[in-house]
Structure 1
């Protein structure tokens, strides 16, 4: 029997939120607005300073590589890698490299003071291998900082289901979560980070969580994400055109207090 055109192949592990899409740039802008402050706080906590060597894994946009380059100064070094590095600036004061953290060997193993990845490993089916590559890139005493969402921990788009628009937003968020799961994302990965960092042989492991509620950045990120995956939602039979249009209109009107899954930030240090 031939497969239905409305069923997404469960073996399809292509990244749903593809960097090649124009909406990716919008997502990077609003993710930076929402989470860069959190990430910068952890950089400060770990002591990032002049002269450090840093690897930004799955960098996506420019904001974090630029911040690291400013922090480490001319005596330091920042490498920003991505499967599709098209949104990065090759003249931004950091090195840009096309790199797959699972398929490719770690660049410059054993040399980095900091390796950082944000919202990367949750989408990578072979997370254990990717994490091992990142840990192998650390020098003795270097820090690994991994920040990933835990959508199962807080799955709602609207915490306050006050009416039909909020209920529709939550139905669409469930549909997007289903697409992510079919593409190999682990929606419970964030909570496992302390354990997996210890399993990777790191010491001094700790973690913290953060998530925003409401505001323009949440609205703009939601709109960009829904537009980005609209065709996939329709093809999978997970949403209807009318519901998507109504939801985007409600977002644009500022009628929803949207939120995101918690971002779990975990860090650990290579012994030595």
Structure 2
């Protein structure tokens, strides 16, 4: 079974899903709307997380459409009218159907060493004219604005640079987001369109706390990498400091038509 960096069995995932939803759902809704989601469509939500996007899709396609939500560990996805939830490993299992009108995945393929094969599988599961929407973080882009103080920069980088090393050690492709449009074109998808969303987050209780949840879930490998407990404490305090600001990693949304 494929293992993701962020273990779904971790109870902190509830907070992670909540922060991800607040930070990214409006952008995702806009991309799916632009891709033509509407009544009667057959949709596949890959790596459904807590089911939020899949449930939203069900509301868009209505009773004449259908939504399949798959995840390697679907424990966080509640039952919802208009959706079918399946335990599914997209790297190994057969697709849950064919001739989908719309397939969407957010922050999934960058985690998968088999991402090229998975992309082939997704494209082949679309019907002619079907749309594929992939959203991935570009993890190679710098995050700190020029106004960040040297002290804040040092505190943030001490943990975040180690965090990226941990991701790379687990086969996360930090630059996959920027490669996705070319990968679409190579596979014959047409009307390929890419948009990037990069908000500035300020210290406090909002979306910047995604960094807190991610780092907390990877504390053990970070300590092994050389991050100290003091580094972690200073990093967490920085995220609560309203004087601190950090860019979100760019969310690159790519859409193509089979």
Band the TM-score falls in, shorter-chain normalisation: over 0.9
In structure 2, what is the Cα distance between the partners aligned to 1:158 and 1:18? 31
Matched residue, 1:142: 130
The structural deviation recorded for 1:198 is 1.2
TM-score normalised per structure 2: 0.93
Aligned equivalent of 1:182, options 169, 179, 187: 169
Contact 1:157 1:260 in 2 (8 A): no
In structure 2, what is the Cα distance between the partners aligned to 1:18 and 1:212? 26
Matched residue, 2:242: 254
Contact 1:57 1:82 in 2 (8 A): yes
Matched residue, 2:255: 267
Matched residue, 1:16: 5
Contact 1:23 1:225 in 2 (8 A): no
Structure 1 vs Structure 2 CA RMSD: 1.6
Matched residue, 2:14: 25
Aligned equivalent of 1:151, options 124, 139, 146: 139
Aligned equivalent of 1:201, options 188, 199, 222: 188
Contact 2:110 2:177 in 1 (8 A): yes
Matched residue, 2:116: 128
Contact 1:27 1:224 in 2 (8 A): yes
The structural deviation recorded for 1:233 is 0.4
Matched residue, 1:58: 47
Q: Which runs of 4+ in 1 moved over 4 A?
A: none
Task: Describe the SS at the equivalent of 1:155.
Answer: coil
How many residues align structurally?
255
The structural deviation recorded for 1:158 is 5.6
Kindly provide the CA deviation profile for residues 63-101 of structure 1, in whole angstroms up to 9, marking residues without a partner as x.
201110110011110011011111111235411001111
Contact 1:160 1:166 in 2 (8 A): no
Task: Describe the SS at the equivalent of 1:22.
Answer: coil
The structural deviation recorded for 1:15 is 2.0
The structural deviation recorded for 1:159 is 5.3
Task: Describe the SS at the equivalent of 1:193.
Answer: helix
The structural deviation recorded for 1:22 is 1.6
